[in-house]
Amino acid sequence: MVSYDELHDPNAEYTMRELSSETMGATGERGGSRDVEITDVQTTMVDGNFPWTLVRVYTDAGVVGTGEAYWGAGVPELIERMKPFVIGENPLDIDRLFEHLVQKMSGEGSVEGVTVTAISGIEIALHDLAGKILGVPAYQLLGGKYRDKVRVYCDCHTANEADPQACADEAERVVEELGYDALKFDLDVPSGLEKDRANRHLRPGEIRHKAEIVEAVTERVKDRADVAFDCHWTFSGGSAKRLAAELEEYDVWWLEDPVPPENLEVQEEVTKSTITPITVGENRYRVTEERRLIQNQAVDIIAPDLPKVGGMRETRKIADVANQYYIPVAMHNVSSPVATMASAHVGAAIPNSLAVEYHSYELGWWEDLVEEDVIEDGYIEIPEQPGLGVTLDMDAVEEHMVDGETLFDEA
């Protein structure tokens, strides 16, 4: 029997098959092509508008799964640290492998933070791999689909983000020329009236300036597009409430992250003070943390970031909790096409999917990273190919790798 101490000892000499039979009840060998073992896990970082961490999981069947972890220092090192915990194991046991990695990495912070992010990258690759082994698209592993395509909202920027008319011009361009009917702009932009940004207090003139941006953009696009506005956790509770109240007369899709994420009580108070929809979630980890936001009804829309929050099944679990409170899911996403498509598969498989973010419309080669088309006319059509349905273009990966990185060893 595997002891508790062995289970939580990262240097313990036992295999996952021992753990399966003794503590988790999994069966032994499987028939046909399902008896597969993981042989390697590799990462490569691509220098996009964020340093994307791509993950590849290899098997003795020659089938390879591709995933992605949210960007951040230390993620590749953590994935390398976890490699011995999955080598020799069957990639079809996605839930069991996920929980095992959480247990093995508990001393290194698997409750939240960058360790969860690293686990997320492996978990996404396992979905791609399992789908290929079983011959089904990834959404089928999550219970099937509610929709054939998922709506995308475009995170927009201008040379002068503090100019209301410049924002309105860009909103119109993105709608008319790029075909999006869902947009987002930043509101934590300088107004020229700030006295001390560290205290998080908004002066009346600052609130008026932010309302001018909202008014200019929403009036320009009217019913042609929904528009959200992001605050990046910048304001105090009182300032956030005053800002949200000021925006109630405009057609705001949502106001995102108006206060810092640590204090749930303040977040709840802000949300319940206004009819302006409030969206939060990208800086919470796993269903345990997101659940508190949902059950306290501290959000109107939940926004988990799939390659950061715990992966595809964890995001599905968050959506299931949110659905009990009739809360829609708008997935935060600053990823390459790999994790973007993973988010789309989850968006197809849950009833309460609202949209998936796209943060790279100014990066001309974003879609070149994979062989397939991803976004068309503001939507992602869910592929029917096995796994995620995207194939890395290794020439593009090599061209855009972070300095010092090496390409995947396909051998």
Over residues 355-377, the pLDDT tens digits come to 999 999 999 999 999 999 999 99
Distance CA 201, CA 260 (A): 13
Question: Angle 337-349/114-134 helices, nearest 10 degrees?
Answer: 70
User: Of the candidates 153, 127, 147, 151, which has an alpha carbon nearest to the alpha carbon of residue 389?
Assistant: 127
User: What pLDDT does residue 158 have?
Assistant: 95
Parallel, antiparallel, or unpaired: how do β-strands 149-155 and 379-381 relate? antiparallel
Provide the 10 A C-beta neighbour count for residue 19.
22
Distance CA 393, CA 388 (A): 15
From residue 72, alpha-carbon distances to 51, 199, 369, 397 in Å are: 7, 27, 20, 18
Residue 25 clears pLDDT 80, i.e. is over it: no
DSSP label at residue 28: S
Distance CA 401, CA 155 (A): 24
Residue 405: alpha-carbon gap to chain centroid: 23
User: What pLDDT does residue 11 have?
Assistant: 53
pLDDT level of residue 110 (50, 70, 90 thresholds): confident
From residue 229, alpha-carbon distances to 27, 141, 212, 292, 311 in Å are: 49, 33, 12, 23, 25
Token representation of residue 303: 């926004």
pLDDT level of residue 395 (50, 70, 90 thresholds): very high
Q: Are 315 and 294 within 8 A, CB to CB?
A: no
Distance CA 139, CA 411 (A): 29
Question: In percent, how much of the chain has pLDDT > 90?
Answer: 87
**280-290: per-residue pLDDT in tens?**
999 999 999 99
Residue located via tokens 């791509």: 54
**235 Cβ contact list (under 8 Å, min separation 6):** 188, 200, 201, 202, 243, 258, 259
Residue 131 clears pLDDT 80, i.e. is over it: yes
Token representation of residue 169: 């011009």
Enumerate the β-bridge partners of residue 387. Answer: 137
User: What pLDDT does residue 195 have?
Assistant: 87
Enumerate the β-bridge partners of residue 379. Answer: 151, 376
Distance CA 300, CA 36 (A): 43
pLDDT level of residue 34 (50, 70, 90 thresholds): confident
Enumerate the β-bridge partners of residue 68. Answer: 54
Provide the 10 A C-beta neighbour count for residue 259.
24
User: Of the candidates 196, 214, 184, 101, which has an alpha carbon nearest to the alpha carbon of residue 378?
Assistant: 184
Residue located via tokens 């009804």: 297
User: What pLDDT does residue 30 have?
Assistant: 81
Q: Which domains does the chain have, with CATH numbers?
A: 4-136 (3.30.390.10), 149-383 (3.20.20.120)
Q: Is the pTM of this model over 0.85?
A: yes
From residue 399, alpha-carbon distances to 68, 143, 284, 369 in Å are: 18, 37, 33, 10
Distance CA 196, CA 70 (A): 32
Question: Angle 237-246/204-221 helices, nearest 10 degrees?
Answer: 40
Q: Are 170 and 157 within 8 A, CB to CB?
A: yes
User: What pLDDT does residue 108 have?
Assistant: 83
User: What pLDDT does residue 32 have?
Assistant: 73
Q: Are 225 and 181 within 8 A, CB to CB?
A: yes
Question: CA 233, 237, 239, 244 torsion: positive or negative?
Answer: positive
Residue 196 clears pLDDT 60, i.e. is over it: yes
Q: Are 299 and 318 within 8 A, CB to CB?
A: no
User: Of the candidates 383, 395, 341, 334, which has an alpha carbon nearest to the alpha carbon of residue 361?
Assistant: 334
User: Of the candidates 232, 291, 225, which has an alpha carbon nearest to the alpha carbon of residue 264?
Assistant: 291
The arrangement of strands across the sheet holding 51-59 comes to: 38-47, 51-59, 64-69
User: What pLDDT does residue 112 have?
Assistant: 87
**173 Cβ contact list (under 8 Å, min separation 6):** none
Q: Are 388 and 138 within 8 A, CB to CB?
A: yes
User: What pLDDT does residue 9 have?
Assistant: 55
